[in-house]
Amino acid sequence: MRPPFVPLVLAALPCLALGGDGPRLEALVERVARGTPEERVEAMNLLAHAGAPAALAVEAAIEARREETYALMAALARLGRHAAAGAARPWNEQALEKGRQALEGGDPYRARAVADAILTLDPEVANRDAVVELRLAARTAIISREAVSLRLEAPPVATWGRPVPLGLALTNVGDSPIELRVAGGSDGGLGVLEVFEERYDSAGSRTRERRTRVIRVDGVVRLEPGRGHTLDLTEAATGDAPAAPVTVDAGAAVHGRLSLSVRLRPFALVAGEERLPGYIEAEPIVVQVVEAGCEDVTADPLAQLAGDDPRRVFHAAMCIGGGERRSALDELVRRLDAGGPPAVERAVMAALGHLTGEAHGLDREAWRRWWLGLR
């Protein structure tokens, strides 16, 4: 629930010298926020002559409220455009960057307000497509926070040639019943599952493949407030093909990574009586893929790295490489220095090549020189 309107306390800010007893800045800011369209235009024009104090007043107002901020953001953008008339970067690019920073910082309300402000101030702005994209992303984040949230569920490790159990947990985080509807007469497509598969082998080669699978449901998914539902995506189908599990086939590869992401774009997303626009996304997840009998490697890859089984060492090295880069490289080079069977050394050097992109192949001394150059 968004916080209610908070009265502004801006008496310490100077007044505008607009004739006799010029209105206080807070009165103008309030007119911008809640006035009629004509009053908003007049107030914006007056604020534009106040300079920095007006910008401070508008920023304070934005921080004090969550609702109806788009007009305030438009006023702030106008003040910024006036101040940046001779700047190297256009005002709209600066405003877009601030909106993206707000979204990345976890404030989709401010990001949406920035996008609305830019479009209010200049509907045909040069970077309109990027601004519209920001607004849609912010709206999506708000829906996930206020209406329905998504979470992909899968085991942290899978085995080559076997289906990967996948689930999509939907939770109603709002106060009203939620319905996700597919189009009448359609094939039941509610959204898509994207599978990005990377395969690595201990000889140093790598392949990548991206697949998109349709998520199908029958008609409507209904969620009561505070309740959830899990869709089984293991049988997600591709196009018109028969339902097929998400399966990874090793081929000549040894270790793999599956990056999984979901985007739902229902024909209608209804919260109570309100129809919500946009799409919903789940946070991507990564599943490590190993050979049968090596599933336990991911539990403690550092301990497995010290072993003499080249397959298990390679799996362990690739799992360690998914962590903090510098410490992972230190561990792999230390394992190379420790020696062992030639097949183990080749597995470690192949992992180093995959993780760094460096082309030192199976030259042990070249890897050591490269590593020393980083220290």
Whether residue 13 lies inside any domain: the answer is no
Q: What is the pLDDT of residue 202?
A: 82
| Rg of the chain in Å (alpha carbons) | 28
Last residue of a domain, one of 266, 290, 314: 290
| Domain-located, residue 316 | yes
| Cα–Cα distance, 48 to 44 (Å, whole number) | 6
Residue 264 pLDDT level (bands cut at 50, 70, 90):
confident
28 against 99, higher pLDDT: 99
**Paired residues of 159 in beta bridges:** 290
Tokens of 30: 């309030």
pLDDT, tens digit, for every residue of 130-180? Answer: 998 898 888 888 888 888 889 999 999 999 888 889 999 999 988 889 888
Give the model confidence (pLDDT) of 283-296 as tens digits: 899 999 998 888 89
Q: Is the model's pLDDT at 240 over the cut of 50? A: no
**Final residue of a structural domain among 145, 173, 206:** 145
Domain boundary among 259, 290, 321: 290
Asked if residue 284 and residue 182 are part of one domain, the reply reads yes
Which amino acid appears at position 341 of this protein? P
Do 60 and 81 reside in the same domain of the chain? yes
Structural domain containing residue 205? 148-290
Contact 23, 39 (CB under 8 A): no
Q: How confident is the model at residue 109 (pLDDT cuts 50, 70, 90)?
A: confident
Question: Each residue of 205-231: pLDDT tens digit?
Answer: 888 889 888 888 887 889 999 999 999
What is the CATH classification number for the domain harbouring 278? 2.60.40.10
Which of 136, 203, 218 is closest to 350 using CA atoms? 203
**pLDDT range class, residue 17, cuts 50, 70, 90:** very low
The dihedral over CA atoms of 25, 26, 28, 32, expressed in degrees to the nearest 10, equals 130
- On whether both 251 and 338 belong to a single domain, the answer is no
Count of domains forming the chain? 3
One domain for residues 220 and 104: no
268 inside domain: yes
User: Does 240 reside within a domain?
Assistant: yes
pLDDT value of residue 322: 62
- Residues 117 and 61 sit within 8 Å (Cβ to Cβ): no
Counting beta carbons within 10 angstroms of the beta carbon of residue 173, is it exposed (0 to 12), middle (13 to 18) or buried (19 or more)?
middle
- 250 plus 263 within the same structural domain: yes
Lowest-confidence pick of 200-204, 244-248, 309-313, 341-345: 244-248
pLDDT over 90 (residue 260)? yes
pLDDT tens digits, one per residue of 170-202:
999 888 898 888 875 556 688 889 999 998 888
Tokens 């490269």 belong to 370
Q: Which pTM value belongs to this model?
A: 0.65
Alpha carbons 303 and 249: distance in angstroms, whole number: 27
Give the range among 236-240, 284-288, 317-321 with minimum mean pLDDT: 236-240
Strand bridging mode 178-181 / 268-271 = antiparallel
Q: Could you tell me if 54 and 121 lie in one domain?
A: yes
Residues 106 and 232 in one domain: no
304 shares a domain with 181: no
The model's pLDDT over 113-130, given as tens digits with 9 standing for 90+, comes to 888 878 877 777 888 889
Residues 188 and 241 in one domain: yes
203 part of a folded domain? yes
Residue 8, domain member (yes or no):
no
In a domain, 4, yes or no: no
- pLDDT for 309 beyond 70: yes
Tokens 């984040």 map to which residue?
Answer: 141
> Could you tell me if 175 and 283 lie in one domain?
yes
Q: Are residues 344 and 226 in the same domain?
A: no
Residue 69 lies in a domain: yes
54-88 pLDDT per residue, tens: 766 776 666 665 455 556 666 666 666 544 444 45
Length of the chain: 375
**Domain match, 139 and 181 both:** no
